[in-house]
Structure 1
Amino acid sequence: MAYADTRIRSLETARLCATLGACPRTIGWVTGLPSHFILSKVFDAGHRAPRGRPPYTEDLVFKTTFKIQAELGSFAVKYRELTAAGFTPAASLVTAYQHYLSFTPVPSFSFDEAFFLVSNLDGIWACKTPSLQLEPCKACQARRLVAFGGAYTPACAFCKEESGERGVRKRVAGRTPAMAERIEVSESLPLQIEALRVDVELEQLGAHRRVRAAILSAYPDTPHRPPAALIRIGRALPVQRWSSGVRTLQRAQFSLVAVLFQRLTSGGIGADRALIATYRQARDAFRHAAAPSFDRCFEVVSQVAGRWGVATPTLVLAPCDRCGASFLVGLADQGSGGAQQRRCPYCQLLRHPETYLAGKAA
């Protein structure tokens, strides 16, 4: 579980860094992902990675205009506030740069430059030791960037900006300001992140590994193949004699699962997310009875919706003329006409509540 969570965070961070304009080397430093994975999964043939050397330079702060120095200082202060609040350096870097873009129409420095500034500030990633630090100005008390250890203390960019003075130093040649448009990443990367999240949730709900593999087979770039037949964990449900072979309370639970799943999928929700939400809601609906396992609900939904190895549905939802509810019936039960009303599990529970109370006591 911890590995899956770490993997999800790494991929999500890589996606955010790429959309902010990070080069592959920067993404590798921040996430720890190998370069071949970044070039093939984060970027692809339709979404090329930025080319050229990353704009890492030691003169990032002190050879720019006072305006850019003030922006760099504001970014560094926001980054330090986030790390002091307990956020990781990677999350703080991404969030601080997103905050910077939110109030700057045309950014003055790129995400790669922000990454290198943070590396020098904390002595991480691309820098082994810190070479920058934040220090309050004695005049305006604004926190500004200075050389680590006080070796060089430039004029305060915030004071200069307030007094109307302009810095005479320009940006280092070869470094261009960040683009306002964000770079698109591989279309399969968000799907990989979603597949990992779904896998974690399925494991938390107690799904068997074969069931998880069948559900995840719908995602691209997955090692799982679509199942050729229905996945059953344990003894199969008696579909051919559904009304007599399955207990009344279980038929009511499975009917609720089928109805909820059908409503969610008809509303445009994916089958995997619909099944997870359906199971959670159905499990909470019968709080005082033993809830069916996720694998059983998966087996029922597969036979109702004709998914995950089932070509033709073997269970259908039929309306009850007496209570108005929809309940599951097997194909063999459909030919009995009006007998379906007597087999409605909800009507039976209303007539014989001790059936539900027995499940509550158990």
Structure 2
Amino acid sequence: MPTRGDRHLRAIQLAKQLAALGARLKTIHLITGIPPRQVQALFFPDPRSIPRGRAPDSAEWYHGANLIVRTDACLIGAKYRQLRVQGLTAGDALVLAYRAYQAATQPPHRISLDRAFNLVSYIDGLWLATAPTLSVLPCPTCGCEFIAAVGTVAHGDACPFCKLLERSHLDHRIQASYPARATRDMTERQLGMLALFHLLSPGSDTPAE
């Protein structure tokens, strides 16, 4: 059984990873329990290096975001849910899901660690949320998993991945955001993009990191 010292050491290690990913002091505090002043002293000795800006206080940003941002969010949410089902703690699952998101998309990354933290809080009903208001659903059309409000019935019209695949050959922003191998056949290109999405879907054997 882990001792108090073991738990504190693990919290410090997790805080270090979160700080490296750009998390704000409050975010690190809520996840690890380490007081913000201690987090600052340990990982941000130069006050100018402390991440600034206001973090989202609800999940409404997801519903109002454009298609590419919502797709990015779904990549994080699906991987996070997979890791939680596998038994990882919420903090570890968030870190690994965010790293997987960074590996699967082109920089600059549209979703910050703080937004990812906000997102999974409302998926799991912890940290910022008292109950889940978002759920991760499998799309019956493309098989990818997407985020929707709790109570939503899964169908292709609600799936960001289906919409993104439909528009991929017309929108250069989508092509730049989710690069697939070069091909003249658009159907093959879309299948390549779909394979990329499935890298972060539950059931994938792809490592989280």
Give the TM bin, normalised by the shorter chain.
Answer: 0.7 to 0.9
Separation (CA, whole Å) in 1 of partners of 2:6 and 2:125: 26
Evaluate the alpha carbon distance shift between residue 59 and residue 165 of structure 1 in structure 2; reply closer, same or farther with a 3 A threshold: farther
Count of aligned pairs: 166
1:129-140 matches, within 5 Å, as 129-140=131-142
Evaluate the alpha carbon distance shift between residue 36 and residue 46 of structure 1 in structure 2; reply closer, same or farther with a 3 A threshold: closer
1:1-362 matches, within 5 Å, as 2-45=3-46, 48-106=49-107, 107-150=109-152, 155-164=158-167
Amino acid at match of 1:70: T
CA-atom RMSD in angstroms = 2.2
Given that residues 79 and 97 in structure 2 are in contact (C-alpha distance below 8 angstroms), is that contact kept between their aligned partners in structure 1?
yes
Given that residues 25 and 54 in structure 1 are in contact (C-alpha distance below 8 angstroms), is that contact kept between their aligned partners in structure 2?
no
Separation (CA, whole Å) in 1 of partners of 2:50 and 2:154: 37
1:165 CA displacement: 6.7
1:47 CA displacement: 6.0
1:26 CA displacement: 0.5
1:46 CA displacement: 6.3
Separation (CA, whole Å) in 1 of partners of 2:19 and 2:84: 22
Separation (CA, whole Å) in 2 of partners of 1:35 and 1:115: 17
1:71 CA displacement: 1.6
Q: Percent identity?
A: 31
Separation (CA, whole Å) in 2 of partners of 1:152 and 1:158: 13
Separation (CA, whole Å) in 1 of partners of 2:154 and 2:85: 25
Separation (CA, whole Å) in 2 of partners of 1:41 and 1:55: 25
Deviating more after overlay: 112-121 vs 102-111: 102-111
1:9 CA displacement: 0.8
Amino acid at match of 1:50: P
Evaluate the alpha carbon distance shift between residue 101 and residue 39 of structure 1 in structure 2; reply closer, same or farther with a 3 A threshold: same
1:36 CA displacement: 1.8
1:158 CA displacement: 0.6
Separation (CA, whole Å) in 2 of partners of 1:15 and 1:47: 17
Secondary structure class of the residue paired with 1:38? helix
For structure 2, the 5+ residue unaligned runs are: 170-209
Amino acid at match of 2:95: V
For structure 1, the 5+ residue unaligned runs are: 167-362
Given that residues 120 and 132 in structure 1 are in contact (C-alpha distance below 8 angstroms), is that contact kept between their aligned partners in structure 2?
yes
Separation (CA, whole Å) in 2 of partners of 1:151 and 1:135: 8
Q: Highest Rg: 1 or 2? A: 1
Alignment TM-score, normalising by the size of structure 2? 0.73
Deviations 1:111-142 (A, max 9, x none): 00000000000000111111100112232232
